[in-house]
A and B are shown apart, each in its own frame.
Chain A
Amino acid sequence: MKKPVKKKRRPDRLARIMNPTVRFWTGVSLIPGFFLSSSLELLLLHCLVFAVAVVLAGKRIRVFYYAMMILSITLFHLLNPVGRVLWELGPVTLTAGALEQGLMKGFTLSGLVLLSLFSVTPDLRFPGRLGGMLARTMYYFEEILNGRGRLEVRNIIGSMDSVLMQALPPGDESVPETESGTRFRGTVLQFPVIILLEVLVWGPVVFFFFIVGL
Chain B
Amino acid sequence: MYNERVLNRLAMLGALSLFLSTVEYLFPRPIPFMRLGLANLPVILYLDLLSSDSKDSTGTYFLLILIKVLGQGMVNGTMASYVFLFSLAGSFSSGLAMWLAWRYLRPNISFLGVSVLGALVSNMSQILLSIVFIFGPAAWRILPWFLGIGLGSGFFIGLFARSFAEKSRWWKALKDSALETA
Contact = CB atoms under 8 A, between A and B. Distances in A.
B79 interface: yes
Given A144-B15, A144-B16, A168-B12, A138 B74 contact: yes
B143 interface: no
A77 interface: yes
A136 B8 contact: yes
Interface in A129-166: 129-130, 133-134, 136-141, 143-145, 148, 157-158, 160-161, 164-165
B23 to A, nearest CB: 6
B18 A117 contact: no
A103 B177 CA distance: 53
Given A6-B26, A115-B80, A134 B74 contact: yes
Chain A interface secondary structure, helix, strand, loop or mixed? Answer: helix
A40 interface: no
A175 B4 contact: yes
A120 B77 contact: yes
Contacts of B23: 5
A34 to B, nearest CB: 11
B11 A115 contact: no
Interface stretch (B49-57, B92-100, B132-140, B146-154): B132-140
Q: Quick one: which of B10, B12, B67, B176 has the most chain A CB within 10 A?
A: B12
List of 5 A-B pairs having minimum Cβ-Cβ separation, nearest first: A140-B15, A116-B81, A116-B80, A170-B173, A117-B77
Given A141-B71, A168-B16, A170-B174, 9 more contacts: A80-B136, A105-B134, A109-B82, A113-B82, A120-B79, A133-B14, A133-B67, A145-B22, A161-B169
6 contacts: A76-B138, A113-B82, A140-B12, A157-B168, A161-B168, A171-B177
Interface of B: 1, 4-5, 7-8, 10-12, 14-16, 18-19, 22-23, 26, 28-32, 63, 66-67, 70-71, 73-75, 77-84, 134-139, 141, 163-164, 167-170, 173-174, 176-177
